[in-house]
Structure 1
Amino acid sequence: MGYSPSIYKFVEGSDTPVPLDMDVVRAVLSPYDIGDPNLTVMDDGRLQCWVRAADGSEAEIFVDEVGILVERPHSGPGVFAIVAELASRLGAAVLDPSSGVFFCSREAHACLPVDMRKDVIVIEMTGEGVRAALIG
């Protein structure tokens, strides 16, 4: 896959993404990290890890205070299940960079900025739901 979806969390209709719960991020990513088991902290403070799902699909993931970038995700459903779990547990939305459209669960939809809500696609936040939203 030639693009990199991102994950952001919004609260109470604010236009600005809020800081992520890094304990949740670490808890979700740690079981799949095939590099440093404690995740790698880069010089700029971002976390970086390479995840591999049980089906062998992989992605490189970068996490900063307010966003998660999923680089080069394989098209296997397992890596999309990891993305779905991150978004679900964080109450966040996923940005499809190819269309510029966000998608999220019904619960996260209520927290998005009001002007953004009409253009967001509400999905079941599962690996298959994320996969279908990103690649059809």
Structure 2
Amino acid sequence: MSYSIFLQRFAQGKPAPLDEAATLEVLHPFIVAQDSTSVFIRARDGSEAEIYRDPSGLMIDRPEQGGIFDIVAELINRLDVVLLSPGGPTILRCEADRSHLPNEFQNDAIVVELSGAAIQCAIESF
């Protein structure tokens, strides 16, 4: 895939910090290379992506189809984040997350089952 997706946490309509320890706990088993701002991960099925980190979110660059999206699902669940997909809807883990979004994201946001396959399907359908 030649696109990027973004994982962002919101509280009261504003970006909120991520739990760095939980982020690294999820990613650690899959890291094959890293530097101060990014990690390169490989899922068990061999699919890969580069993830750029900052305190307010993650950018997942060029996620390949497959197991990478299972890791994305785990990140969404563990970090209480939403997925922002340029040109697509904001993906929520549950309806309660909608109230934390900025107003401009609320109307088009959709709730998607937290599985890699469901997330990948939702992104690719737009």
TM-score norm. by structure 2 comes to 0.90
Give 1:102's aligned amino acid: T
Asked if 1:128 is matched to 2:117, the reply is yes
Give 1:18's aligned amino acid: A
Matches within 5 A, 1:1-136: 1-11=1-11, 13-14=12-13, 16-35=14-33, 39-41=34-36, 46=37, 48-76=38-66, 78-99=67-88, 101-106=89-94, 107-114=96-103, 116-136=105-125
Unpaired runs of at least 5, structure 1? none
Deviations 1:75-106 (A, max 9, x none): 12x1001111111111110011133x211111
Give 1:71's aligned amino acid: D
TM-score norm. by structure 1 comes to 0.83
Deviations 1:23-67 (A, max 9, x none): 0110011110012xxx421xxxx3x11111111111000010101
Structure with more of its chain in strand, by fraction = 2
Q: Percent identity?
A: 35
Q: Structure 1 runs of 4+ off > 3 angstroms?
A: none
CA RMSD of aligned residues (A): 1.5
Unpaired runs of at least 5, structure 2? none
